[in-house]
Amino acid sequence: MERRSDKPIKVTEVCLRDGSHVVAHQFTVEQVQKIAQGLDEAGVHYIEVSHGDGLGGSTIQYGRSLVNEMALIEAAVAACKQAKVAVLLIPGVGTVHELKQANKLGASLVRVATHVTEADVSAQHIHLARELGMEACGFLMMAHSAPVDKLVEQAKRMESYGAQAVYVTDSAGALLPEGVRERIRALRDSLDIEIGFHAHNNLSLAIANTLVAIEEGATRIDGSVRCLGAGAGNAQTEVLIAVLQRLGIEVGIDLYKMMDLAEDIVGPILPHAQEINKGSLVLGYAGVYSSFLLHAERAGKRFGIDPRDILLEVGRRKAVGGQEDLIIDVAQEWAQIQRAGV
């Protein structure tokens, strides 16, 4: 593979953040310690730990955590000898207070996540992270939902705030390879900082899209062990490492250790196999935020509505992350329509 960048690839493992959605935010301290230690021993560069919706996400709307995320961050930091612990922060969900607390506990990277058209709300948090001596990255969510020129404009804003990398974040798993190529190439041609890519596997394209991103110059890549992430999961880390090695791209991560971790430690935690089922497929098809799946399934059961209809309607309304309450509204409306039609 010919790459547009000769910088080394850095992998961020997201199973302890994105994967929090899968386990309904019920990670225990012991689980986080074991997984973080295994990832550290395998040579993973960054391990992201926080509520699935980022710092401060443990709420009724997003789902209560079993254990305070600060205790989980502290456990991960203690388990790591070489990997850096990262956190996600969505302004309006998390605040500077949580960011400072996470940093005191040892988190050294924050990814400040906004909707793809709302980068301006990230300025305060990126500035603070740099003042605290943390690495700071911008994370433009739902990147499929905006024109490429808008994506570039917003990424430039994050760069101007001090972000050291900006991620194209395929939150819905809706991007096709050419869409990834177009977006990463545009950012690579427009920014002086690193480019990252975060995939979801709802259309079975997470690995393929990640390879396209790397080819076009992305050097910050996300993966989740055993696909432990929202929807159908992210690019499966152990598979990604195997594919990169086949391509002659060495990232310094031990493949066997990643395979053993996936099989022996992460696998038993999964409440169900991470596969592309009808719900996660609709996420990618409709372009809906991947963490909406469990909320739609619960609302569908409560109101007697097919969750697919809820997700398609939410997609038509162009919902963004943080609008989980819209799922209940849609389910109620559909239930009323059904009753009126009987």
Catalytic residues: 21
Which residues, in sequence order, are bridge partners of residue 84? 46
For residue 83, give the DSSP letter: P
How far is Cα of residue 122 from the mean position of the Cα atoms in its chain? 17
Q: Comparing C-alpha atoms, which of 159, 171, 158 is closest to residue 200?
A: 171
The encoded tokens of residue 79 equal: 């388990």
For residue 45, give the DSSP letter: S
200 annotated as a binding-site residue = yes
198 annotated as a binding-site residue = yes
**H or E segment and range at residue 195:** strand 194-198
CA separation for the pair 32, 129 (Å, rounded): 24
CB 251 within 8 A of CB 241: yes
17 annotated as a binding-site residue = yes
CA separation for the pair 144, 193 (Å, rounded): 21
Q: Comparing C-alpha atoms, which of 33, 35, 30 is closest to residue 19?
A: 35
272 annotated as a binding-site residue = no
Q: Comparing C-alpha atoms, which of 174, 176, 170 is closest to residue 198?
A: 170
Count of Cβ atoms closer than 10 Å to residue 96 Cβ: 16
302 annotated as a binding-site residue = no
190 annotated as a binding-site residue = no
Q: Comparing C-alpha atoms, which of 31, 13, 138, 29 is closest to residue 84?
A: 13
Count of Cβ atoms closer than 10 Å to residue 160 Cβ: 11
- Residues annotated within the binding site for substrate are 17-18, 171, 198, 289
Which residues line the annotated binding site for Mn(2+)?
A: 18, 198, 200
Q: Binding site: which residues?
A: 17-18, 171, 198, 200, 289
